[in-house]
Amino acid sequence: MTRSDEQRIRDILKAIQSIHRSKALLEKHSEDHEIEETVLAAVTFQLFIIGEAVKSLSAIQRETLPEVPWSKIMRQRDLIGHHYFTVDAGMIWETLDKPLKQLHTALKGLSIQD
């Protein structure tokens, strides 16, 4: 069963919300390194979900938002999925700043209810 672009966009927005909740948990328990490791794993999985959903969006849908770095998102998904041993925490945390905010802003502009 294939999912629509709208469903995939909802998946991405849900993953972004999950990342925000994970970051809040980490901030609440910033001195607990076990929680930091767990949050990193959760965030990495959510980035994988985002990448998978992006890869499945139609080209037409991606073309409506040319400001989003679609190919970088898809490459990160491939890196996480196939070359997980090269992924480092710094790369993951960097993704959560400007790139994730840019994606979230662009998708929220589509007025799809999440």
Q: What is the pLDDT of residue 96?
A: 86
Domain boundaries of the chain, sorted by first residue:
5-108
Residue 111 tokens, joined: 């007025």
Catalytic residues: 77, 82
Q: What is the pLDDT of residue 95?
A: 87
Residue 112 pLDDT class (50, 70, 90 cuts)? low
The Cα–Cα gap between 96 and 41 comes to 14
Quick check: helix, strand or coil at residue 18?
helix
Model pTM?
0.90
Residue 114 pLDDT class (50, 70, 90 cuts)? very low
